[in-house]
Amino acid sequence: MAFALEFFLRRISQGVLIVLAVAFVIFTLLRIAPGDPIRIILGPMATPSAMEETAERLGLRDPIPMQFLRYLGDIAKGDFGNSFIRGKQGGTTGGSQDAAGSPPVERAPVIELIAKALPYTLLLAACGFLLACLVSIPLGIMAGVKNSGWPQKVALYLSSLLVSLPNVWVGIVLIYLLSARTGWLPAIGYQHIGYVIIPAIVVAVELAPVMIRSISVAVATNVQDPFYEIGQVRGLSARTMLFRHVLRNAAVPLLNSFGAQMIGMLLGGLFVVEYIFSFPGIGLLTINAVFQRDFPVIQTVAIFASTVLVFINIAVDFASTTIDRRLKF
């Protein structure tokens, strides 16, 4: 127990520092990037004096570290700022349409935008990941246990095939085949759970080859460990050895590649897929925010993403040390 406590104390404090550093970098980059956010908020017709006044009011003329500190203070109060663009009622309220209209305070709080988009993203990620697991776990294990035979060939060919398909292309082909041509499944936007199927397949296609590879390699390594054969000589069945011992040992490298590689792929994949399918999750929100220079949204998503990454890695490391007590983090 003491170990767990110390582990979390140490790792969470490190994690918080990392997230803070990431937040500061993003914050600074967005502020020194070309393009005046005031112009975006107020639109091209705004007078210089009105712009100056708004900038002062929003604190955009203060030194960056000061702005950052103020931003952190706001975050501590649960206030992640407001979108520059999006109105409270939803929809884009770019300055150009109603230059005189809605003042910035009327814009939607970023946190609400995220709260609305997050469930969709989680749903898509979960479905995609599950789908990838359904294919790659059995295939990876079979390919790993036997060093020859059809499972290994299937695993090899399937993963080389999948890895060479760009997800944009897979997305378009699937939309064409399953939706446009046959009308079996809906594809664009989101109205009910059916809308998640095609995007989830695309996410899975991206994840599966990596997962098949890591699983079969991890299983193969452990099957070669003496304890696997000796276990059978000791009187345990090959099945028990595989499911109770080999998989347990294989989980450690798998967790690691999940934390280091797959989670990044998953996040990246989600962004692209949501954009292709106009799927109303965090990815779409962010990409639109980038196009519209909606800085508060971009920076909040970035901070959230880095927080998620950091904490997933803490969880992964903790799980690894719990499974294999020889590891030290």
Partner 1 sequence: MAAELLLKVENLSISLGSGEAARTLISNVAFEVRPKSVLGIIGESGSGKTLLSRALVNWVRPPLRVTSGRVIYQGRDLLELPEADMARLRGREIAYIGANPTTALDPTMPVGHQIEEKLRTIEPDLPRREARQRVIDLLDAVRIPSARSRFDEYPFQFSGGMMQRAMIVDALISKPKLLVADNITQPLDVTVAAQILRLLRDLQRDFGTSIVFVSSSFGTIVEVADEVVVLDKGTIVEAQDTGSIQKNPVHPYTKELLAKVPRLWHDVGSVPETNAEPVVLSVRDVAKTYEVKDRASLFRKNRVQAVRGVSFDVRRGESLGLIGESGCGKSTLSRLLSSLESPDRGAIEVNGVDVATLRGDALLSMRRRFQLLLQDPYNSIPSHVSIGATIAEPLRIHRLATGQQLRERVCEVMREVGLPPDLYDALPVGLSAGQRQRVNIARAMVLEPSVLILDETLSALDQVEQAKLLDLFDSLQRKHGITYLYISHDLAMVRRACARIAVMYLGKIVEIGDNETIFDAPAHPYTRTLLSSVSTVEAKPFLPRDYLLEGEPPDPIHIPGGCSFRSRCPFVIDTCRTVEPTLSIKAGGTATACHLDVDRLPAPSILAKARIGAAPKRMDSL
- Binding region for partner 1 (CB under 8 A): 2-3, 5-6, 225-227, 229-237, 240, 244-245, 248-249, 252, 323-326, 328
- Smallest separation, CB 325 to partner 1 (Å): 5
- Smallest separation, CB 242 to partner 1 (Å): 12
Residue nearer to partner 1 on the CB measure, 77 or 326: 326
- Smallest separation, CB 314 to partner 1 (Å): 18
- Are residues 38 and 54 in contact, defined by beta-carbon separation less than 8 angstroms? yes
Residue nearer to partner 1 on the CB measure, 150 or 243: 243
Residue nearer to partner 1 on the CB measure, 93 or 214: 214
Residue nearer to partner 1 on the CB measure, 181 or 326: 326
- Smallest separation, CB 80 to partner 1 (Å): 35
Residue nearer to partner 1 on the CB measure, 3 or 169: 3
- Smallest separation, CB 248 to partner 1 (Å): 6
- Smallest separation, CB 146 to partner 1 (Å): 13
Residue nearer to partner 1 on the CB measure, 8 or 150: 8
